[in-house]
Structure 1
């Protein structure tokens, strides 16, 4: 049975892609795809302020994409679903095929630099 795309509620999918649409959050997810990390580890690896990392990790937790475990006084963050790693891999494959088109998209891409 075919599913009419107009009958599906796309709100959850939109929320998922928005949660990954921020460069800091996407960088955090990509780092956590390699294994759990503390906020201090993410701060060092990504060169972001602790408050920025904490804010984005909290957002990813609220979305159910990241969770944590406590060990002593430290929290170790990890991805909640291995399917997220598959999604990232699929996106990287898609970008390897269409990267320049996506990067030059007039709405979401980065404008091409004008040669001097």
Structure 2
């Protein structure tokens, strides 16, 4: 293996991590993942829990499914969705620990803040 091979592998690894975190960067998708952490649910259950339109929930569930984070289990005319990997729960727990340790630093970050107000 050459140094260039290591560099290419590292870049692919970073690209994959970027895609993973991007899939979780949307508030609705993250809320769906958090809800599914408590057990499987149908789209109708997610609509009720998150108070969003069925089409919105379906689109976000499809995104998570395409990313391999969520899977569907058909039962009759219904599909029950669940998380595909228990490691995702570990990632969420680690994120909560990191957020607790950094306090408001991430929320106040001018580049990544979720504040939609105008900056002075």
CA–CA distance in structure 1, aligned partners of residues 107 and 87 of structure 2:
25
The reply to whether residue 43 of structure 1 matches residue 47 of structure 2 is yes
Alpha-carbon deviation of 1:99?
Answer: 3.2
Q: Spell out structure 1 runs of 4+ moving beyond 2 A.
A: none
CA–CA distance in structure 2, aligned partners of residues 70 and 99 of structure 1:
41
Q: TM-score, normalised by structure 2?
A: 0.86
CA–CA distance in structure 1, aligned partners of residues 32 and 44 of structure 2:
12
Within 5 Å, which residues of 2 pair with 1:76-115?
A: 76-111=80-115
The alignment's C-alpha RMSD in Å is: 1.8
CA–CA distance in structure 1, aligned partners of residues 42 and 63 of structure 2:
15
- Paired position in structure 2 for 1:15: 19
Number of positions where the alignment pairs a residue of Structure 1 with one of Structure 2:
109
- Paired position in structure 1 for 2:3: none
Alpha-carbon deviation of 1:109?
Answer: 1.0
Alpha-carbon deviation of 1:14?
Answer: 0.3
Stretches of structure 1 lacking an aligned partner (at least 5 in a row): 1-5
